[in-house]
């Protein structure tokens, strides 16, 4: 078992100069902000209950007298009687780079959990209100990617790859110059976990109760390894793999996207009239991929429009990739593709508008002149890249990425090489403290790992792997599709036993498998 370098034996409680902080909670949103968020679908009554605060952590936990970072917190106070409350339930929405502050703009979980726990979330270091930053130019990377998109990766020459190499190197160098090598070196998950223990202490909880989605499962699992005696209950939904390089992660995700796409095609052909993948010429397997390629090529020749934005084939595929996260929207997605296949311009435009709104969220009803969604996208992309590059050991030879891209193209010509090429900045990233690998958390209480068979972003095999790796891991399987589901009202079969675990500490029965709903 490999433990993190420099870690000392776990003390009985948080110690040092950052122990014993008290959070100065205040109302999060004024009336204007409540109105704006309500316009995006949030419940004003819920928003008015939310409280915000900060805790302070050292940038380098081995140098507590150096630079500090303020970590932004948000809380929805427990609704039950004070004598029945169980403390705080800390949440992380995933990412890396996703704001935990924005996560709590909408309610999570059932009444029993919300009665027993203060729901608390936070922006991890480098995210949003906790020192969030923008660096590099992801659109230069996008342009370089487009130049190689139509070429088999194995056929790309060194000369043809040079613009992509240069763009990735400039991206990494820009981030180092903009943010500083020291800051980038301390953005990894091992330091987020140390921050989380400071948060637990400031909340007044002797032991941590935590729900982590996607990347948040890495945070939770590593916390159990580093601080087992301070762990109470952990729910890890949509487990990430912790051993592979970023290119290896991308390869697994390409296969998972293809698997979920195949599940969607099967749903489309079985449930939706005029599904473009029905029939022997295009139904299933490579046939559906080829038919989708034809629909995308048609949009490249004659783009449609959504919310005033041209939609070509690549833009549509990005939208589809996001909708594969949401099994409940598959009928709508199938109807869009049926309208596109039938040449129904009005139906295509109407449904594309809704899909564009789902994909780009809060910008749906905002005047493009008032906000540039590209700026926020670059911010999230920068943190995503910085944390992933910090956490993992990556090759520095472009040939390794070309080989991985070639394998991705074989796994899925539809979703293929781009996910691999996007990892190339890690080849030029500055040295950092990598997250530990091989951890098993043998001294932690039972830990619940939730895996979805048709998860396009965190393959089900990763949940099986993490549950098996953790000595106290208990796997709960959902047989449907989509990316994460606990606490979102999608499966009573999952929510009920996991609610009971958080409330009592009793884990679900081993091997619990829940049918698609």
Cα four-point dihedral sign 483, 487, 492, 493: positive
- Distance CA(247)–CA(394), nearest Å, equals 8
- Nearest Cα neighbor of 5 from 61, 47, 55 is 61
CATH numbers and ranges of domains, the chain: 26-132+188-242+437-514 (3.40.50.1820), 138-179+372-428 (no CATH), 246-363 (no CATH)
Q: Is 452 helix (H, G, I), strand (E, B) or coil?
A: strand
DSSP state for residue 454 in the 8-state scheme: E
Distances (CA, A) of 147 to 237, 398, 487: 37, 16, 42
* Beta carbons of 427 and 397 less than 8 angstroms apart: yes
* Beta carbons of 452 and 491 less than 8 angstroms apart: no
Distances (CA, A) of 399 to 107, 127, 404, 450, 486: 46, 32, 9, 36, 40
- Distance CA(370)–CA(7), nearest Å, equals 47
* Beta carbons of 215 and 466 less than 8 angstroms apart: no
DSSP line for 283-302: -SHHHHHHHHHHHHHHHHHS
Can you list the positions of beta strands (E) in 1-106? 26-27, 51-58, 68-76, 87-92
- Nearest Cα neighbor of 249 from 437, 394, 95 is 394
- Distance CA(255)–CA(420), nearest Å, equals 12
Q: Is 253 helix (H, G, I), strand (E, B) or coil?
A: helix
Distances (CA, A) of 161 to 25, 150, 151, 422, 428: 52, 13, 11, 13, 15
Cα four-point dihedral sign 376, 379, 384, 385: positive
pLDDT recorded at residue 282: 44
pLDDT tens for the chain, residues 1 to 517 = 233 433 434 544 567 789 999 999 999 999 999 999 988 888 999 999 999 999 999 999 999 999 999 999 999 999 999 999 999 999 999 999 999 999 999 998 999 999 999 999 999 999 999 999 989 887 888 899 989 988 999 999 999 999 999 999 999 999 999 999 999 999 999 999 999 999 999 999 999 999 999 999 999 999 999 999 999 999 999 999 999 999 999 999 999 999 999 999 999 999 988 899 976 444 445 689 999 999 999 999 999 988 788 899 988 998 999 999 999 999 999 999 999 999 998 889 888 888 876 665 543 333 333 333 334 444 568 999 999 999 999 999 999 999 999 999 999 999 989 999 999 999 999 988 878 889 999 999 999 999 999 999 999 999 999 999 999 999 999 999 999 999 999 999 999 999 999 999 999 999 999 999 8
DSSP line for 87-144: EEEEEE--TTT--HHHHTTS--S-HHHHHHEEEEEE--TTSTTTT----S-HHHHHHH
pTM: 0.92
Structural Rg of the chain based on CA atoms: 23
């Amino acid at each position: 078992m490999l433990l993190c370098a420099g870690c000392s034996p776990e003390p009985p409680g948080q110690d040092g100069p950052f122990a014993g902080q008290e959070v100065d909670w205040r109302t999060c949103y004024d009336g204007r902000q409540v109105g704006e968020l309500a316009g995006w679908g949030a419940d004003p009554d819920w928003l008015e209950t939310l409280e915000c605060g900060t805790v302070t952590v050292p940038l380098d936990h081995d140098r507590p007298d150096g630079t500090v970072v303020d970590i932004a917190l948000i809380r929805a106070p427990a609704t039950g009687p004070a004598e029945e409350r169980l403390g705080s339930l800390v949440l992380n929405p995933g990412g890396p780079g996703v704001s935990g502050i924005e996560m709590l703009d909408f309610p999570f979980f059932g009444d029993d959990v919300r009665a027993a726990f203060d729901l608390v979330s936070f922006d991890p270091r480098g995210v949003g209100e906790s020192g969030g930053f923008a660096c590099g130019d992801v659109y230069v990377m996008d342009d370089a990617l487009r130049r190689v998109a139509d070429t088999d990766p194995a056929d790309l020459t060194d000369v043809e790859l040079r613009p992509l190499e240069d763009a990735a190197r400039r991206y990494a160098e820009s981030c180092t110059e903009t943010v500083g090598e020291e800051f980038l070196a301390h953005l990894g998950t091992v330091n987020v976990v140390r921050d989380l223990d400071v948060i637990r202490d400031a909340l007044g909880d002797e032991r941590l109760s935590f729900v982590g989605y996607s990347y948040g499962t890495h945070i939770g699992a590593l916390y159990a390894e580093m601080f087992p005696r301070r762990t109470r209950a952990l729910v890890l939904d949509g487990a990430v793999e912790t051993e592979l390089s970023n290119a290896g992660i991308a390869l697994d995700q390409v296969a998972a996207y293809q698997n979920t796409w195949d599940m969607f095609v099967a749903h489309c052909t079985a449930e939706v009239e005029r599904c473009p993948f029905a029939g022997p010429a295009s139904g299933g397997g490579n046939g559906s991929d080829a038919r989708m390629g034809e629909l995308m090529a048609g949009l490249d020749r004659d783009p449609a429009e959504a919310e005033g934005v041209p939609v070509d084939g690549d833009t549509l595929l990005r939208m589809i990739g996001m909708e594969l996260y949401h099994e409940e929207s598959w009928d709508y997605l199938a109807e869009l593709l049926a309208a596109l296949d039938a040449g129904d311009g009005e139906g295509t435009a109407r449904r594309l508008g809704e899909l564009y709104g789902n994909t780009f969220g809060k910008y749906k009803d905002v005047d493009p002149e008032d906000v540039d969604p590209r700026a926020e996208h670059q911010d999230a992309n920068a943190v995503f890249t910085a944390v992933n590059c910090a956490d993992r050991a990556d090759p520095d030879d472009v040939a390794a990425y070309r080989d991985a891209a070639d394998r991705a193209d074989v796994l899925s010509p539809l979703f293929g090489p781009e996910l691999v090429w996007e990892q190339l900045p890690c080849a030029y990233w500055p040295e950092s403290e990598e997250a530990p690998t091989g951890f098993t958390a043998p001294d932690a209480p039972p830990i619940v790992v939730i895996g979805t068979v048709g998860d396009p972003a965190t393959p089900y095999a990763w949940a099986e792997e993490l549950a098996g790796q953790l000595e106290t891991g208990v796997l709960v399987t959902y047989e449907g599709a989509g990316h994460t589901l606990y606490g979102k009202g999608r499966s009573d079969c999952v929510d009920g036993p996991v609610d009971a675990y958080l409330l009592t500490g009793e884990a679900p029965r081993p091997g619990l498998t829940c049918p698609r709903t």
